[in-house]
Amino acid sequence: MSAARILIAEAEAAGARVYLRDGELKLAFRGREPIELIARLRAAKREIVRELAPPAPVSLAERRAAVERLRDAMQAENERRRDWDKQPVEGWREGRLTIRSALTGEETTIHFEKPKGK
């Protein structure tokens, strides 16, 4: 948790409402206003405004670039896993693996057998 978020939580615990209105930091206290806390809030004003401000909109070009990076990463992972069943694995043993689709109930069974003579 950031220092600004901790300070906001402390102010809210003291009965304050900390919010932004038109980009300006606003404080509304119920009851007595703690002077020391207000001084600390003022000192951290920039960080608090940054913490409370909505995220900046992301441009279409940035979104497209992010999607391309994700697609490339997924494609690389798919290529890496393509022949997973043919990869040698240390310490494996014979057996079978049954996979059932939770959506369709369809089952697929994979049989693992060691080559003869090993």
| CATH number of residue 46's parent domain | 1.10.10
**Residue 13 counted as domain residue:** yes
**Residue 11 counted as domain residue:** yes
> How far are the Cα atoms of 6, 22, 36 from residue 42, in angstroms, in the given order?
14, 18, 10
Domains in the chain, number: 1
CA atoms within 13 A on the CB side of 66: 6
**Residue 96 counted as domain residue:** no
pLDDT tens for the chain, residues 1 to 118: 789 999 999 999 988 999 999 889 999 988 888 889 889 999 999 999 999 998 888 899 999 999 999 999 999 988 887 777 676 667 767 888 899 998 898 999 988 877 665 5
- Domain of residue 39, residue span: 3-52
* DSSP conformation class of 116: T
pTM across the whole model:
0.46
